Chains A and B, each alone.
Chain A
Amino acid sequence: MKTNKKIEIYFVLFLLLIFLTFVILAIGYNPIARVVPLIVGIPGVILCAILLSSYYIPAVDKRINTLKQKTFFEVEVGDEKKQQKNFKRSEEEFKKTSLKELNIVAWIIGFLIGIYILGFIVAIPLFTFLFLKFREKESLRMSILVSAGSWAAIYIMFSLLLKAQLYSGLFY
């Protein structure tokens, strides 16, 4: 099985887990409060289970593929063409993309941690500068310019114009 497919299976498993958790929790509620969660959750569990089985049982996969939604045109836009190409890529390319995925997710998590500790006003220029300088390998001048510009824009728009109180972190 292709690695890309394995990741898709993990994602469907994750969705199945969400539906299962909601169904199990719903059973504990009173009869009125649990009606709709069960109406929504149980079909979710069933659909995820069928989709999951389709990755292993060719007959189910074939059956599911007959349920492709009607489209008016089989026109593929550029993005989808790229996605189709992605399926054909080699394992090596896949690993590269996976690393890139982990990398950008790590940057976002890092930014969230930065906001939590330092607050928006410090975390924004810091994140923008580090992201541009070290991830995107932009020049020092461009990194400083964009990070200062984005900080100024956010500060003026949200703090000065909208008077929104931005989170100031653990230390302020």
Chain B
Amino acid sequence: MNERTPGIAKNQLSWLVSCLLLSFIFLALVLADSPPANALPFPAVKVRPLPAFARKYGMPCSACHLGWPMLSPFGQAFKDNGYQLGNDRDAPIYQDPGYWPVTFRITPIWHRDSTNRVQVDGPDGLNADEAKVTTHGFDWSGLDFHAAGTLAKNISFYVLPSSDNTGAFHFESVWGRLDNLFGSSWFNIKMGKFELDNLLSEKRILTLTSVAGTYANYHFQPLVSPGSRANGAILATEGYSFGIGDNQVGVEWMGHSKDDRTRVSASLLNSNDGNPSFSSNNGAGGLLTGRAYDGFFAASQAFEVGSLGLQRVGGFAYLGQAPTFPQYTQGGTPIDGTSIGNKSFYRLGLIGQWYLKKVDVTTMYFHGWDSGFLGSNTPANVALPIGAQSPTWNGGLFETHYTPNPQLVLINRYEIIRMSRQAFATNPSNFGDTDVLTFGYRYYPFISTRAGFAFHNEYAIEWVRGAAPVTGSNLATSSLLIGFDFDF
């Protein structure tokens, strides 16, 4: 179903977007003023099998999730407390012996993805041309198996084998945690592969398309020079790969007040973006990896504002290093985990989470900096090329959710990234500037303590300045998705 004819899908796109908008507006109108969840239709036959935590504690999904998978303040406190409610019934010994802490999640979908300039073979040779490529059809997401809970009182764990949609598995999360050490909620130690203590959790993102399934700010790396990327993929010539939204490997100290209003954490992490065996690509090697360690720090404070409820503000900092040349090679290939010539990078951010009754708004300011060696892909044992400099950029995010009742979430997000200094002074000043617009909704036809199901509909579009792989024109990628997102 690939199309290579520029412009052919314009009418189709308009039609699809119209359908999306109409169904969005229809559901909004029908459900926005509808009675609360109790008055909405529940399935005649109750579903008994449980997602892991709901099964253990018998709580509806809506207790811990404003709209799953996004956490509510209660759910965040439950997570911070080591998946414990603190009523002395958290240890597995109190559970039915038939309890098994596993949930799976998968999403059958129909989606349409379109990119205006994809590198293709043409009259001028291989990879010498660009074309608009649009694909659409039925599909499914990867499969997640979440296994999490407590091994004993104050010892918690999380294991998440996750596959792509071909069934190729990797471990997205693997960690154990000692909770409430010394009887204090301020001492919790986690070790393994885990999501950074991001207030805005990418693993709990409410959007699923290929464009908006991750936060652009969390994964942005400055482009080296026009034409240095194809289809957004990182070329081997780029020196390192990092996303603050990626799960990382290391150890984390986390502390919080009893009511979870105050939260702080610090992590010591491998400098290989969360990959196993000191590699850079899920064990398969690829980019250089060395012996460096990174640090991540986060803190936030929540406060009550009258009848509006809880508001939270926080900040985070990731201080990282990446090697720039191999110390040893084997058959010409760098040996994983031995590269040297470390150069630094950092990411900083401020986040606000604002709750205005049925509307919650997340705002984020993001700032990134890379060493000139990393930005220009230059080994540290040679001189920087003329014009190379440390790329610097600023980003912002504005995300709103309107939750008229626990069964419906309307979602809107706008992300913006602006380069303030290019990797090379000769690059256009707006080269790599990125905008991402997303909107959609999730409708949960039932809410139970046993299973989760969402009807998901979303549209997202991304613009990246000058990133077309051959011509250096602007790159636009859009994605439309309709599907059933469920866990059990």
**A complexed with B:** no
